[in-house]
């Protein structure tokens, strides 16, 4: 007896992660005019349409074609909590059960959305709670963009003027440069006039220093750059940020100098520096930091350490952090102390953990496990 074979339906393309160029190629492949791309992009990202039937200036025939071949697919929000300081955290469940976290930080003149680029993180930074969760996979471009899309829809329900997204920072779960292609697509969409229209100064990528990709980013994008520095000697940084063993400070600084050469005259690099009591917070460390970044247009963001169980670290006393800042400022540098936000809901820097099916198998050697790339 012959059993009929059930044919698998073709996978629909998630338009949410497509750049304008991708969408133009998609529509021309279906026999449509390329200008449909900008129409659909505006409906998705500016009008936040969730269904093709909402796109009223598109013919019914085309809407039916889109339903058959494409989708606007987003993760499910399984947790939504607001801190006493107004910070809001969402936990989003992805296909397969993994969860990522996204945080919105409202201020009087802007609203910053901190988004994730990977499920977990493979860099294993010793002071970061996110790194303790291990690593599962990269997010797709659509999953990265979906965080901004979903936050925009939810915040649109709030009538307060400051509840809107003016800045996007890739500082959530993961190392963005280890998911380079998908991150670059998402950044392109964030800055696209037909999508979110954010300027290059309002989209920031934070990296621990994956240098081949950092060099490539400088050639292909002018996104604002933040570098997770955290130490001024290779010995200390090797223990805090293990990627330093592969790309030490002298190479990182050379890449930073090259990156800034490719940018506009007013561009700068933000160096993030978590303050750890007795580890990296001495006067000597501050003086070495001044010498290390000499000649780079820079802003130093001093980050009070956010404790988590069994971290092994303590936050530097505020008097020490302020003294560190004063030393930098007397040398003519711009230095700020980051205000901790969302700590009561574990939404502060280094606290995003989500739920990660760790596939990194960390017993393997450092170079082959976490990077898989030639130096």
Is residue 91 within 8 A of residue 100, CB to CB? The reply is: yes
Strands of the 224-228 sheet, one edge to the other:
76-82, 88-93, 99-106, 111-114, 167-170, 203-207, 224-228, 269-275, 298-304, 334-337
- CB neighbourhood size of 85 (10 A): 15
- Can you give the three-state secondary structure of 121-155, one letter per residue? CCCCCCCCCHHHHCEEEECCHHHHHHHHHHHHHHH
How far is it, in rounded angstroms, from Cα 137 to Cα 148?
20
Is residue 256 within 8 A of residue 296, CB to CB? The reply is: yes
Contacts of 227 (CB under 8 A, 6+ apart): 206, 207, 208, 209, 252, 256, 269, 270, 271, 272
The DSSP element (H or E) to which 245 belongs, if any, is none
DSSP output for 166-216: -EEEE-SSS-GGGGHHHHHHHHHHHH-TTTT---GGGEEEEES--HHHHHH
Question: Which are the catalytic amino acids?
Answer: 101, 349
């Amino acid at each position: 007896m012959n059993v009929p074979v059930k044919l698998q339906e073709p996978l629909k393309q998630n338009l949410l992660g497509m750049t304008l160029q991708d969408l133009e190629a998609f529509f021309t492949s279906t026999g449509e005019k390329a200008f449909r791309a900008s129409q659909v992009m505006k409906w998705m990202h500016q009008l936040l349409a969730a269904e093709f039937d909402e796109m009223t200036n598109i013919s019914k025939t085309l809407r039916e074609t889109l339903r058959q071949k494409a989708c606007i697919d987003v993760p499910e929000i399984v947790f939504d909590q607001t801190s006493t300081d107004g910070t809001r955290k969402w936990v989003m469940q992805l296909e397969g059960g993994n969860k990522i976290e996204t945080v919105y930080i409202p201020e009087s003149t802007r609203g910053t959305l901190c988004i994730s680029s990977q499920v977990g993180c493979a860099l294993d930074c010793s002071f970061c709670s996110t790194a303790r969760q291990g690593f599962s996979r990269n997010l797709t471009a659509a999953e990265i963009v979906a965080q901004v899309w979903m936050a925009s829809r939810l915040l649109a329900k709030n009538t307060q003027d400051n509840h809107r997204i003016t800045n996007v920072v890739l500082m959530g779960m993961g190392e963005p440069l280890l998911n380079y292609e998908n991150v670059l697509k998402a950044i392109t969409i964030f800055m696209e006039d037909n999508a979110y229209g954010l300027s290059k100064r309002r989209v920031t990528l934070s990296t621990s220093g994956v240098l081949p990709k950092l060099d490539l980013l400088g050639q292909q994008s002018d996104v604002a750059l933040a570098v997770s520095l955290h130490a001024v000697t290779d010995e200390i940084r090797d223990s805090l940020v293990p990627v330093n063993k592969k790309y030490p400070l002298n190479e990182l600084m050379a890449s930073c100098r090259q990156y800034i050469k490719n940018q506009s005259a007013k561009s700068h690099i933000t160096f993030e520096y978590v303050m750890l009591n007795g580890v990296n917070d001495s006067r000597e460390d501050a003086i070495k930091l001044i010498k290390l970044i000499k000649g780079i247009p820079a802003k130093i963001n001093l980050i009070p350490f956010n404790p988590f169980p069994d971290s092994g670290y303590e936050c530097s006393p505020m008097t020490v952090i302020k003294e560190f800042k004063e030393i930098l400022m007397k040398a003519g540098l711009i230095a700020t102390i980051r205000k901790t936000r969302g700590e009561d809901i574990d939404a502060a820097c280094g606290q995003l953990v989500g739920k990660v099916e760790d596939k990194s198998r960390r017993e393997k050697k450092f170079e082959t496990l976490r990077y898989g790339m030639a130096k």
